Amino acid sequence: MATIWDPKQYLKFAAPRLRPALDLLGQVYQSDVKTLYDLGSGTGNLVPFFRDRWPEASIIGVDNSKNMLSAARKAHRDVTWIEADIASWQPDESADLIYSNAALQWLPEHEVLFPKLLGFLKPSGALAIQMPRNHLAPSHSLIEDVIHSNGLVDKLRNAEALLPVLDPEVYYNILSPFVGDLNIWESEFIQILDGDNAVAEWTKGTALKPYLDILSEEERKVFFDQYSTLVARAYPVRPDGKTLFPFRRLFIVARM
């Protein structure tokens, strides 16, 4: 069952979601980008930043969500938007830059996928990737606890679940034989969130959503209520009303 993404839920925390995307972009040093593919482009919120760096570039956004692409088309009519599964996608022409922010963690077999993406680049091209690496944090591990405590393992077995991102050394081993320059780093962002049970609302728009989509309305309510209770204990609201949500992310910039 394919996940139906909700742009409004995802963009509740637009600013902290944007920050790592811009950090990744800041480490892309390509001066002349004519063809840029944004894989997992979502609502196209990065288009203005791409345009600022490379005004003449042809930008192609690729996503498998009709809802996200509908919002993107309304906001950015000068961009080409393609509905496709990144795992099987192939570009019409070689790229100067393939950029992907918080998308490739949904796909398996990175040891096959990443070299394939490199093969779509021009000789001077670059592949830039950011992926959440927060799967051991309570925000994510508590999802499994609620699944097991409610006997939902079999029902949710085929959910399009978030996959654990591998260790940085593994990505070095995958990419280094194919590229001339490789930059890999991790950052932990202390995200300062507003709102009631903000961490539960955050994951409701991403990691939790594939599971909720499979459940019935009654099951969904029980599941989310239990998860919210556990997460509120793990990430308590501070006296000033803010919630601190540490979030680790992995960054890769590979240049041919």
Domains and CATH numbers, the chain: 7-255 (3.40.50.150)
pLDDT digits (tens, 9 = 90+) for 35-64: 999 999 999 999 999 999 999 999 999 999
pLDDT digits (tens, 9 = 90+) for 217-246: 999 999 999 999 999 999 999 999 999 999
Backbone angles phi, psi at 198, to 5 degrees: -65, -35
pLDDT digits (tens, 9 = 90+) for 163-212: 779 999 999 999 999 999 999 999 999 999 999 899 999 998 888 888 89
User: Cα 88 to the chain's mean position, in Å?
Assistant: 18
Q: How confident is the model at residue 1 (pLDDT cuts 50, 70, 90)?
A: very low
Taking the CA of residue 3 as centre, how many other CA atoms within 13 Å lie in the half-sphere pointing to its CB?
23
- Provide the residue type at 156 as one letter: L
Q: Are strands 58-63 and 121-132 parallel, antiparallel or unpaired?
A: unpaired
Distance CA 97, CA 36 (A): 5
- Provide the residue type at 124 as one letter: S
Q: How confident is the model at residue 8 (pLDDT cuts 50, 70, 90)?
A: low
Distance CA 35, CA 121 (A): 10
**Dihedral sign, Cα of residue 147, residue 152, residue 157, residue 158:** negative
Q: Please count the other Cβ atoms lying within 10 Å of the Cβ belonging to residue 76.
A: 21
Q: Which of 6, 16, 67 is nearest to 247 (CA)?
A: 16
* Residue appearing with tokens 């005004």: 55
Distance CA 90, CA 113 (A): 11
Backbone angles phi, psi at 144, to 5 degrees: -65, -35
Distance CA 92, CA 75 (A): 24
pLDDT recorded at residue 162: 63
Are the C-beta atoms of 97 and 36 separated by less than 8 Å? Answer: yes
Question: Residue 239: which residues within 8 A CB-CB, separation 6 or more?
Answer: none
What residues does 58 pair with on adjacent strands?
35
User: Cα 233 to the chain's mean position, in Å?
Assistant: 26
What residues does 132 pair with on adjacent strands?
249
- What pTM was estimated for this model as a whole? 0.90
Distance CA 99, CA 28 (A): 9
pLDDT recorded at residue 114: 98
List the end-to-end C-alpha distance of the chain, in Å, as a whole number: 36
pLDDT digits (tens, 9 = 90+) for 73-93: 999 999 999 999 999 999 999
Alpha-carbon distances of 118 from 4, 57, 127, 195, rounded to whole Å: 29, 19, 7, 41
Helix (H, G, I), strand (E, B) or coil at 24: helix
Provide the 8-state DSSP code for 162: P
